[in-house]
Amino acid sequence: MADIDLSEYMGAYIDGSRENLDTMDRVLLNLEQNPNNLDAIEEIFRAAHTLKGMSATMGFEKVAHLTHEMENMLDKMRTKQMAVTPAAIDVIFETFDVLRTLVNDTITQTDSGVSLDDITGKLHAVLAGGGLATAGAPADHGGGHEAAPAEAAVPEAPAEEGAAPPADAPMPEGGGGGASPELMADLQEMALSEFEISGTVEAQQTGMIPYLLKVNLVADCLLKGPRIFMVLRTLDSSHCEIIKSLPEVKDLENEKFERTFKMIIATDHPPQEIKDGIESISEIETAHVHQLNPEAIRAGAWADAIIGGTAAGGTAAAPAAEAPPPAPEPEPAPPPAAPAAPVAPAKPVATAPVT
C-alpha cells in the first residue's frame, strides 16, 4: 500500500506535543508536593503515552524511545510495583527536561546533540533499585523536596478455583446466546448489497473467514489520518480483504468521520491477531472482531448472522442436549398372597451403610 505523507500532520503534532508537555510539567509539580498521588502519576503516564504514540507515528524515534522508557517507570509507580521516592521523581524531572529539548528539535528541525544513553541509564538504575538510585545520583532539578515513599504494594490473593468472576468483569464477546441488539444494529447498518454478501461467501469458499470489525479511536485523537493508515497497514499484514468499509476508506483517510468506523473483512488469520494488532496502535481505544455467517445475512436472520467474537474464540455455544424420554409407568402390583404360617423371628442381619 502507498506510504502516507506525514508533513501535513506536523501542525497537529506540534500542538499535541506542546499540550502533553505542558500537562506533564504542571502535574509533575503537583506530584513533587504529594508523591503518593496516584491520580497525578496516572495523568503523567497518559500524557507520556500519547506523546510516544504521536512521535512514533511521525517518525521521531528519539522522542518515542525516551517516552517509552519514562512510561515504563510511571507504569511501575501507578501499579505500586515501585515506591515514588525522591530519586524516582528527580529522574522523571530530568527525563522531562530532555524530552522538551528533543521535541523542540523536531519542531525547529535542529539537532541539539542530546544523547539518550545517560538519561536512560539513570532511568534503568532507579528502576533496578525499586525507586532508589543504584548507579550515580540523578541530577537535582532544584526542587529540594522530601518525597515520602509510596505505600507498599499488597499482592492480590489468587482467585479460588471455580470462583465467580468480579461483578465488573467484561463479558466475553459473541458466542452462546445469539448476537446482542447493538451488534445486530452494527451489522444492519453496513447495508451489505447482494454483491458484497456474495463476496463474503466466495471468501469462505477459498478458506477465508468473514468478520465484522468495529474500531473506536480515543475521544481526543489528534492524528486520525495516520491512525487509519496504521490500521490499514495492520489489516494488510494480516492478509485481510476489505469487502466494505463504513465510512468508505477514502473518507477515513481524509478524516471524514468522528471516532468509530466499521468494516466487513475476510482473512485466514486468527481474529485475536487482528484485534491485538489494531489495539497496539496508539490512540486506538478498542477493536472488536466478530465472525459472520453470510447465509444468515442473506436471509436477514440477524440474530444468527454473528457467530462469535475474539474473546470467545469465534465459536458458538453447543446446543442444549434433548431431554430424555419419560420413564414408563410402573405395572400394577399383583394381589397379596395368602398369609403364611408364622415363623420364628430371624436374628437381625447387619447391612453395610449406603454410601
- Does residue 28 have a pLDDT over 80? yes
Greatest C-alpha distance within the chain: 120
Note whether 274 and 289 are within 8 A (CB).
Answer: yes
- Does residue 264 have a pLDDT over 90? yes
Place of cell 492478509: 239
* Domain co-membership, 92 together with 185: no
Q: Is residue 219 part of a domain?
A: yes
Q: Is 72 helix (H, G, I), strand (E, B) or coil?
A: helix
* Domain co-membership, 186 together with 290: yes
How many residues are there in the chain?
355
Each residue of 172-197: pLDDT tens digit? Answer: 343 334 578 898 999 999 999 999 99
Domain range for 96: 6-128
Take residue 15 and report the three cell numbers written for it.
Answer: 500542538
* Domain co-membership, 185 together with 298: yes
Q: Is residue 81 part of a domain?
A: yes
- Considering its fold, how many domains does the chain have in total? 2
Q: Is residue 86 part of a domain?
A: yes
Choice between 271 and 330, residue whose per-residue pLDDT is larger? 271
Domain containing 69 — which CATH number?
1.20.120.160
Each residue of 43-98: pLDDT tens digit? Answer: 999 899 888 888 887 888 899 999 999 999 999 999 999 999 999 999 999 999 99
Each residue of 89-114: pLDDT tens digit? Answer: 999 999 999 999 999 999 998 998 88
* Domain co-membership, 106 together with 188: no
Q: How confident is the model at residue 3 (pLDDT cuts 50, 70, 90)?
A: low
Q: What is the DSSP letter of 321?
A: P
Taking residue 334's Cβ as centre, other Cβ atoms within 10 Å add up to 6
- Does residue 30 have a pLDDT over 50? yes
Task: Work out the average pLDDT over 5-34.
Answer: 87
Q: Final residue of a domain: which of 111, 128, 145?
A: 128
Mean pLDDT of the chain: 77
Q: Is residue 336 part of a domain?
A: no
Each residue of 123-141: pLDDT tens digit? Answer: 999 998 876 655 444 444 4
* Domain co-membership, 116 together with 234: no
* Domain co-membership, 19 together with 123: yes
Q: How confident is the model at residue 261 (pLDDT cuts 50, 70, 90)?
A: very high
